[in-house]
Amino acid sequence: MKLYIVGAGPGASDLITVRGRRLLEEADVILYADSLVSEEHFKAAKKGAEIVKTAGMHLEEMVEIMKKRLSEGKKVVRLHTGDPAVYGAIMEQMVLLKEAGVEIEIVPGVSSVFAAAASAQAELTIPDLTQTVILTRAEGRTPVPEREQLAKLAAHHCTMAFFLSATLTKKVMKELIGAGWAPETPAAVIYKATWPDEKIVRTTIGKLDEDMRANSIRKQAMILAGWALDPDIHEKNFRSKLYDKEFTHGYRRGVNS
């Protein structure tokens, strides 16, 4: 028995991988989080495929359905939003499935963080400005390990991407400013990146909560923060060595070398 865990991508149905689309076409059963995954994906499903919504299910209920369908000899796909590796809640599913002898194959997807950056036309790693991206979440009902407290991560002053934090923007602002971030530090909020109703809000750390409230954004939003999100970054002279004519690398000799 093999279960396929497939990343659906951030929203737009054509941002799933070719392998992921093929598995959807072949599946007898597809389980998906109906509040987060576009139903456009199921246009690729074969006639008669069983499509199961899981948003209202608890873990054991969902896993039992997977196990039962697999035992019936059916090909089963568990379709996750974005990439399953980041806040995908796949580990607890895998534990129960492996206990039942189920083999698992994971097919990666385009993460919402990269879809959000693309929508904002942002490069998150700018030479001589920032070379690190921290993917995290603000602490709410789900605790964060002590060493990963937001104030400690923010002390690095690199680009930061906040998942699952749209209702915790006051906490994000407080922790970043407390870590020495200037209130005018640029931020971009991308609501439902790549969906038809995508919305992009350009703001600053100091105005983050105010601007999100003004745009009624309180869920399904990626918050990107740091000077790499400066809307005028394209006018500034930050350049990598990759295309520097004086820089020698394995495929090109610099003109002054």
SS (H, E, C) 154-165: HCCCCEEEEECC
CB 140 within 8 A of CB 105: no
Q: Which CATH number covers residue 67?
A: 3.40.1010.10
Asked if residue 229 and residue 157 are part of one domain, the reply reads yes
Residue of 248, 230, 246 lying closest to 238 (CA atoms): 230
Residue range of the domain that includes 65: 2-110
| Percentages of the chain per state (helix, strand, coil), in multiples of 5 | 30, 20, 45
Q: Are residues 124 and 25 in the same domain?
A: no
How many structural domains compose the chain? 2
Say what the pLDDT of residue 52 is.
97
Full-model pTM: 0.90
Q: Helical H runs in 83-168?
A: 91-99, 112-119, 150-154
Mean pLDDT per 10-residue section of the chain, whose length is 257 residues: 95 96 98 91 95 94 97 97 94 95 97 97 93 96 92 96 96 96 98 96 97 95 97 72 55 60
